[in-house]
Amino acid sequence: MGANLTDLSSGPPHPAGQTSAAALPPHDIILELRDLEKRYGHVQALKKSTLSFRRGEIHAIVGENGAGKSTLIKLLTGVIRRTGGTIIWNGQEVDLATPNEAINHGINAVHQEVVLCRQLSVAANIFLGDENTKWGLLQRREMSRAAQKILDDMGFSLPADALLGTLTIGQQQLVATARASLRGTKFIIFDEPTAYLTRQEAAQLFALIRRLKAEGVTIVYISHRMEEVFELADRVSVLRDGTHVGTRNIEDTNDAELVALMINRTLEQIYHKEEIPFGKTLLQTRNLSGKGFNDVSITVRQGEIVGLYGLIGAGRSEFALSIFGRNPKTSGEILWKEQPVDISNERKAIDLGIALAPESRRDQGLNLNLPIGLNINLPVYDQLMRGPVIDSGEEKRRADAQIRDLQIKTPSRRSLASSMSGGNQQKIVIGKWLNHGAEVFIFDEPTVGVDVGTKAEIYRLFARLLKNGAGIILISSYLPEVYELADTLHVFREGHLVGSQSYRERSHEDILAEAIGV
């Protein structure tokens, strides 16, 4: 798979290319959107857009964070109601006012944020609203067995009886995928399904998508990862600022064109890498063990990006949380600037100069029902106090600075974090630590859901932090990211460090083999 734009634009053969999209007769349009529009108060999330989807195609939608992609999907699945325009399904004008109506037409979606019930089991979630009953009684065992079979068939190794809340976000996303592809789906929308998946799971997902396509199902695929778009899609539509700016057959375009359409300018390079000399050793772990990881020794120096790669559940996040004082270690030690330290809680880690942008923005990263400004400043209120009260001018200034620097798309710092698009929420999670003046930054899946343009900004920001004498631990399940950025790369498998390499001395294949354990 291509690691950067130049690789990709040369274009691998597209497996989905056989279906000649242009040859389809017009009556094979399954869904047509005319002048579709959505306003949230004063925010125009989607401006008059006209789009059509053909039966049995894989139709990718790309666009910047906040371009309106998720909004479009929510309109099609009855989650929210449009404020204007018409929707034509199979030649008939339809309302799509409620989720039920969408479901009855066979329209399903895997939403960007997992919308499932944490307190119910995996099986219960999969069958929610479509329970198997006999004489009014639930057939629990039967459903559990069926759910397990579905999951196994899809290649997802997940326990059907586990409570959903005990799964990681990525696993939850897989459950949502299993759920959406059941029940006689004719039209299925994936909103950044691979954000929390590793290559292996992503490959299983792609297999599933191709199988669905073969069965005649129409697939809409939203992603910020260009190579996925080129690997899967037949056609691709671009949204910019809530407007549909174009649709291309996949053979007729390349990612330079798509990126230009998305952000209205060209981008030479996504992965921004500068040669920065390493300085003092900042953080070391010696044989650190804890719940989920075992015997891990790493070193972070000034100017260094330490990449941690592995499959889902390999234990990297647990390891990071342990360094940060969130989870207790069971053995081993942590050294800060060569001195052993006892990091028994988060405050101690923060006071030493460690920052953690956690993996799950919904569960760990954000206070969703609070304003963006508060979220951004939360770790630094200590620095904002002037006597007994907060310096509100400084508070505003800092929040606005992050919103500007990270191009967070919001009407105001007073908007609630929950009203942001997924990618913009992710920017808040990162942004809240940039004011803090930490020396070691742990970024756990920092660019999940972030658009290409902003990704490039974030990588440039990494370079800035490094030049200021910081070190970075970058946890990512997206191999190109760690591959291109990390100075030292550690591969985790089942809680163990199985390989460590420095920049340039490794290949994709080696890393993958290590991670999967073959």
Ligand X SMILES: Nc1ncnc2c1ncn2[C@@H]1O[C@H](COP(=O)(O)OP(=O)(O)OP(=O)(O)O)[C@@H](O)[C@H]1O
Cα-based torsion angle of the residue sequence 236, 240, 245, 249 in order, rounded to the nearest 10 degrees: -10
SS3 (DSSP) at 475: strand
Using rule CB under 8 A, residue 287 touches other proteins? no
User: Residue 499 pairs with which residues in a beta bridge?
Assistant: 491
Amino acid identity at 440: V
Structure tokens at 32: 């047509």
381 binds ligand X (CB under 6 A): no
Residue 330 interacting partner from other proteins, Mg ion, ligand X, none (CB closer than 5 to 8 Å by kind)? none
Instruction: Name the residue nearer to other proteins (CB basis): 19 or 367.
Output: 367
Taking the C-alpha atoms of residue 351 and residue 345, their distance in angstroms, rounded to an integer, is 10
Binders of ligand X: how many residues, by CB under 6 A? 36
Which one of other proteins, ligand X, Mg ion, none interacts with residue 370, CB within 5 to 8 A by kind?
A: other proteins
Q: Is 453 in the site for ligand X (CB under 6 A)?
A: no
Residue 117 touching other proteins (CB under 8 A): yes
Q: Which is nearer to Mg ion, 431 or 449 (CB)?
A: 449
Q: Which long-range contacts (CB under 8 A, 24 or more apart) does 398-403 make?
A: 398/435, 399/372, 399/373, 401/435, 402/376, 402/428, 402/431, 402/432, 402/434, 402/435, 403/372, 403/376, 403/431
326 versus 496: smaller Cβ distance to other proteins: 326
Contact call for residues 262 and 67 (beta carbons, < 8 A)? yes
Residues 70-89, interacting with ligand X (CB under 6 A)? 70-71
330 touches other proteins by CB under 8 A = no
Question: Is-contact 151 178, C-beta < 8 A?
Answer: yes
Q: Does 264 contact other proteins by CB under 8 A? A: no
d(CA 103, CA 183): 9
Q: Which of 512, 486, 506, 483 is nearest to 2 (CA)?
A: 483
Kindly identify the residues of this chain, within the stretch 132-151, that bind other proteins according to CB under 8 A.
133, 136-138
* CB of 59 or CB of 316, closer to ligand X: 316
Burial 421-430 (b: 16+ CB within 10 A, else e): bbbbbbbbbb
Alpha-carbon distance of 225 to 264, in angstroms, equals 18
Q: How many CA atoms lie within 13 A of 439 on its CB side?
A: 15
Q: Contact with other proteins (CB under 8 A): which of 388, 504, 505, 509? A: 388
Residue among 55, 20, 19, 38 nearest 220 (CA)? 55
> Looking at beta carbons only, is 49 or 112 nearer to Mg ion?
112
In the complex, the residues that contact Mg ion under the rule CB under 5 A are 70, 112, 317, 359, 421-422
Q: Which stretch binds other proteins (CB under 8 A): 49-57, 299-307, 383-391, 445-453?
A: 383-391
Q: Could you say which residues in the range 40-99 bind other proteins, by CB under 8 A?
A: 77, 79, 99
Which part of the chain contacts ligand X (CB under 6 A), choosing from 58-66, 200-208, 250-258, 260-268? 58-66
Q: Which residues bind ligand X (CB under 6 A)?
A: 40, 43, 45, 63, 65-71, 112, 166, 168, 170, 292, 310, 312-318, 359, 409, 419-424, 449, 451, 477, 492
Q: Which residues bind other proteins (CB under 8 A)?
A: 77, 79, 99-100, 103, 111, 115-120, 124-125, 128-131, 133, 136-138, 324, 326, 328, 345-347, 350, 356, 358, 363-370, 374, 377-379, 381-382, 384-385, 388-390, 392, 432
